[in-house]
Structure 1
Amino acid sequence: MSGIRMSPARGSQLTEEQRQEIFEAFSLFDMNNDGYLDYHELKVAMRALGFDLSKREVLDLIDKHDNDRRRQIKYDDFFQEMGERMLKRDPVEEIKRAFQLFDKNGDKKITVQDLREVAQELGENLTMEECHAMIDEFDMDDDGAINEEEFISICMDN
């Protein structure tokens, strides 16, 4: 994908991390490295960025940018669309989505075990004592776990 460049006008409001995230999603799912995403590649790339669109919405997005009738979207258009969507994201909703990744059993709490499992998935080898210390640090209601409100508070303070 050597011909890919990032659209400067839209991209200027994005962080470098967001720009890289868009680039990586496109690169990862451009299976044949032709600089375009077809319907299936686009749907999966968008889902990887946290956008779960219906079939109709994905097709409409392709139609919006399909000037050469390839039924695909090129990188510049993907970057523009994903950048705009990222800038419109509600940070609290993003934090809630992250909370769900930690809440392994869906009980609306991040327990020591949940934290340890996520750490292991990320290649971090935390001891139970370290996990307990992390939970204790931010557990405002002393129930031994982090609820969604506490998690939002932690993330918004940083």
Structure 2
Amino acid sequence: MASQKAIIFEDYFPEMVDKLGAEGFMKELSNGFHLLMDIKKGVITIESLKMNSALLGLQGMSDDEVMSMIREGDLDGDGALNEMEFCTLMFRLSPALMKNSKDLLEEAIFSEL
């Protein structure tokens, strides 16, 4: 039986929020979205995610894994991630941010006023 390599996920998002604040963190998420998106379509597609997967350290992902990532966040069923879907997915993938999401939202809103 072959041994499987365990994937260890460390959630750095809470530390980023502490250092950058809610507004700075949302700007970083937006920057991440723009790095991964298909420039012509303005969304993250399966193709653009595969092409840019090395930026995430995920260059060995199979097509099925890439498609699963897109499906996980695709709220409107169009087969791609717009910026809001991407940001929502990033929050959902961070248990600590989900706990504090109301506080972060209020901080972001108040910084805009």
Give the TM-score normalised by the residue count of structure 1.
0.42
Relative to its length, the structure with more strand (as a share) is 1
Which runs of structure 1 show a deviation greater than 6 angstroms over 4 or more consecutive aligned residues? none
Q: Which residue identity lines up with residue 144 of structure 1 in the other structure?
A: G
When Rg is computed on C-alpha atoms for both structures, the one with the higher figure is 1
Counterpart AA for 2:41: D
Could you list the per-position Cα deviations for residues 43-96 of structure 1 after superposition, in whole angstroms to 9, with x for gaps in the alignment? xxxxxxxxxxxxxxxxxxxxxxxxxxxxxxxxxxxxxxxx7xx45852211111
Distance 1:142 1:128 in 2: 18
Query: Using the alignment, how far apart are the partners of 1:100 and 1:125 within structure 2?
Result: 21
Q: Percent identity?
A: 25
Task: Give the counterpart of 1:99 among 14, 30, 33.
Answer: 33
Q: Where do 1:107-126 residues align within 5 Å?
A: 107-121=41-55, 122=57, 124-126=59-61
Q: Report the CA distance shift for 1:150/1:130 in structure 2 as closer, same or farther (over 3 A).
A: same
Cα separation, 2, equivalents of 1:100 and 1:133 = 20
Question: Aligned pairs, how many?
Answer: 77
> Which runs of no fewer than 5 residues in structure 1 stay unpaired?
1-14, 18-82
| Structure 2 unmatched runs, 5+ | 1-14, 95-113
**Is residue 73–residue 88 contact of structure 2 (8 Å, CA) maintained in 1?**
no
